[in-house]
Amino acid sequence: MSRDEELIEQLNCKYVQAFRELFDRFYRYLVLYAMRWVERQETAEDIVQDLFVQVWERDTCYSSYYGFKNFLYNSVKNASLDYLKHKEVEGKYIKYTILHAESGEEPELEIMENEIYRRLYQVLDELPKRCKEVFKYYLEGKKNKEIAELLQISELTVKTQKRNAINYIRERLGALYVLYALFRAGFM
């Protein structure tokens, strides 16, 4: 059994450690996801925390890792939209967001899209501190020379760190193949 499916089985049996691991895997990305609608980080965090408390307290049995992910993304989205609906201020923008979000979404595409970002951020977050700093500037479109000046390191070091980062990202993303193979099996 894969680690992912194992986690779900353990979650169903209420193992704290499995719950914590799933929390660690999803929490930050889900907050980011909620912020597509609710904007304020605090509100987004409340929504996602409530959701996890629910996951822990309810006796739902999840059938698969994919099913669990599906549930998380859906719940966060619905809770975010509910929040907007209940808010008294109903600006045009909010109306538009709700309308837009509710019109014929394709859940598979949506999950896929989110998983692409979630796993990418997870891998970026694993980079060692210095390497990550360099890479973030690079993502912002800064040139090697600018990065070197900002961080007071040599251009050579910038280049090296950048390449290290890329190598690491490539390798780690490669290691995720298994995940996606499973994901496919999950809803075929």
Query: Considering only residues 11-70, where is the footprint of another protein by CB under 8 A?
Result: 15-21, 23-25, 27-29, 31-32, 35-36, 41, 45, 48-49, 52-53, 56-57
Q: Among residue numbers 93 through 132, which ones bind another protein (CB under 8 A)? A: 106, 108-110, 112-113, 116-117, 119-121, 124-126, 128-131
User: Does 150 participate in binding another protein (rule CB under 8 A)?
Assistant: no
- Tell me if 146 contacts another protein by CB under 8 A: no
73/117 Cα distance (integer angstroms): 13
For 120, the token pair is 């990418």
Q: How big is the site for another protein, counted in residues (CB under 8 A)?
A: 72
Three-state DSSP class for 183?
Answer: helix
24-60 residues labelled b (16+ CB within 10 A) or e (exposed): ebbbbbbbbbbbebbeeeebbbbbbeebbeebeeeee
Query: From CA 139, how far away is CA 108, in angstroms rounded?
Result: 28
Of the candidate spans 63-71, 80-88, 145-153, 172-180, the one that interacts with another protein by CB under 8 A turns out to be 172-180
Shortest CB 151 distance to another protein, Å: 13
Residue among 82 and 108 whose Cβ is closer to another protein: 108
The residue (of 34 and 84) whose beta carbon lies closer to another protein is 34
What gap in Å lies between CA 149 and CA 55, rounded to an integer? 47
Q: State which residue, 89 or 174, has the beta carbon closest to another protein.
A: 174
Give the dihedral sign, CA 83/85/90/91: positive
